[in-house]
Chain A
């Protein structure tokens, strides 16, 4: 795959949107920690985020370099399969949320739940270990997903690692700036719509790279990714309609 605009732009977009979802979830917990634990808690929470980001950047740097030593076809096959599992899982969840079978993710509720849990914990004088570890842990948890996305997208071909990293960093900057500006959870971010789109994008990338790894010939070469994205999104829209139809039919059944 060439690192021209046709492959760089989808990589930036997929990494940006996927990372946006994860960064918003991490921000909710960090905000809850900071707002509950006071100024000392804020310092410890931000230190926890900074240490976790340093660890994650080191992982990306080490893995990114190590992956260049693996033959491309093998790497595309394995990473493509993982990306496919990840993308289809997101798409499935977005379908089930849109059709009302599982609840939507609610940042305000997540904020309230985390704030309540942290309120009961006593802080020792000096360094707020609770605030540090809560922020470190959530940044590592959500960041691990971002690292996987960047590495998986970057492993798809030569020159894709940089666009994927740019997309993820842009998401981090946007969410951090919004977090500082509004100082409350970003509840208005349409999380499920993002998951739906990103699920389609990542599933398409995964399918394409698995195909490349298997030595399959894609009609239209790199442009097949756009067709795959459209295909997955159409199937997902059809699934939402069918699931809603199933629910309505069940509701009308005599008990």
Chain B
């Protein structure tokens, strides 16, 4: 049964490498969802592409920020 535990650990590792990176992505998805719900409830007029654009921009920003933070902390190999 050791291999089942190994596979479960591997499955967790599929999605989580750096926990703060994973949590930032999930937080951004949550914020986007809340933002969309809020805008729909208020019937606010906004360009139709804006939420999708913000979703991508936030995720790209998280990727860039995470790699740069790593680069500032770690020595070169």
Across the interface, do A92 and B60 meet the contact criterion of CB distance under 8 Å? Answer: no
Q: Which residues between 29 and 77 of chain B lie within 8 Å of chain A, taking CB atoms?
A: 29, 32-33, 36, 48-49, 51-52, 55-56, 59-60, 62-64, 66-68, 70-72, 74, 76-77
- Which of B11, B25, B49, B56 meets A228, CB within 8 Å? B56
Q: Which residues between 194 and 244 of chain A lie within 8 Å of chain B, taking CB atoms?
A: 203, 207, 210-211, 214-219, 224, 228, 231-232, 235-236, 238-239, 242-243
Within the complex, the shortest CB–CB distance from A66 to chain B, in Å, comes to: 17
Q: Which residues of B contact A137 (CB under 8 A)?
A: 3, 6
Q: Which residue of B lies closest to A99 (CB)?
A: B71
Across the interface, do B71 and A235 meet the contact criterion of CB distance under 8 Å? Answer: no
Across the interface, do B63 and A101 meet the contact criterion of CB distance under 8 Å? Answer: no
0/1 interface trace, chain A 181-194, chain B, CB 8 Å (1 if under): 00000000000000
- Identify the interface centre among B22, B71, B74, B76: most chain A CB within 10 Å of its CB: B71
Q: Which residues of B contact A82 (CB under 8 A)?
A: 15
Main secondary structure of the interface of B (DSSP, over half): helix
Asked if A46 is at the interface (CB within 8 A of a chain B CB), the reply is no
Whether A217 contacts B49 in the complex (CB less than 8 A), given A231-B56, A232-B60, A251-B76, comes out as yes
Report the bound CA distance from A81 to B51 in whole Å.
16
Give the size of the chain B interface in residues (CB under 8 angstroms): 38
Whether A92 contacts B71 in the complex (CB less than 8 A), given A100-B76, A203-B59, A216-B52, comes out as no
Q: Which residues of A contact B36 (CB under 8 A)?
A: 214-216
Q: Which residues of A contact B22 (CB under 8 A)?
A: 85, 89
Across the interface, do B68 and A243 meet the contact criterion of CB distance under 8 Å? Answer: yes
Q: Which residues between 72 and 128 of chain A lie within 8 Å of chain B, taking CB atoms?
A: 81-82, 84-86, 88-89, 91-93, 95-96, 99-103
Whether A100 contacts B77 in the complex (CB less than 8 A), given A89-B17, A91-B63, A92-B17, comes out as yes
Across the interface, do B49 and A219 meet the contact criterion of CB distance under 8 Å? Answer: yes
Across the interface, do B76 and A101 meet the contact criterion of CB distance under 8 Å? Answer: yes
**How big is chain A's contact interface, by range?**
35 or more
Report the bound CA distance from A75 to B66 in whole Å.
28
Q: Which residue of B lies closest to A94 (CB)?
A: B67
Name which of A36-44, A138-146, A158-166 contacts chain B: A138-146
- Which of A81, A211, A235 meets B26, CB within 8 Å? A81
Q: Which residues of B contact A239 (CB under 8 A)?
A: 63-64, 67-68
Asked if A148 is at the interface (CB within 8 A of a chain B CB), the reply is yes
Whether A85 contacts B77 in the complex (CB less than 8 A), given A92-B21, A96-B67, A216-B36, comes out as no
Query: Which positions in A face B, CB cutoff 8 Å?
Result: 81-82, 84-86, 88-89, 91-93, 95-96, 99-103, 133, 136-137, 140-141, 144-145, 148, 203, 207, 210-211, 214-219, 224, 228, 231-232, 235-236, 238-239, 242-243, 246-247, 250-251
A101-B71, A141-B6, A217-B49 are known; give 8 further A-B pairs, CB within 8 A. Answer: A81-B29, A86-B14, A88-B21, A88-B59, A210-B29, A238-B64, A239-B64, A243-B67
User: Could you pull out 5 A-B pairs where Cβ atoms are within 8 angstroms?
Assistant: A144-B10, A148-B11, A219-B52, A243-B71, A246-B68
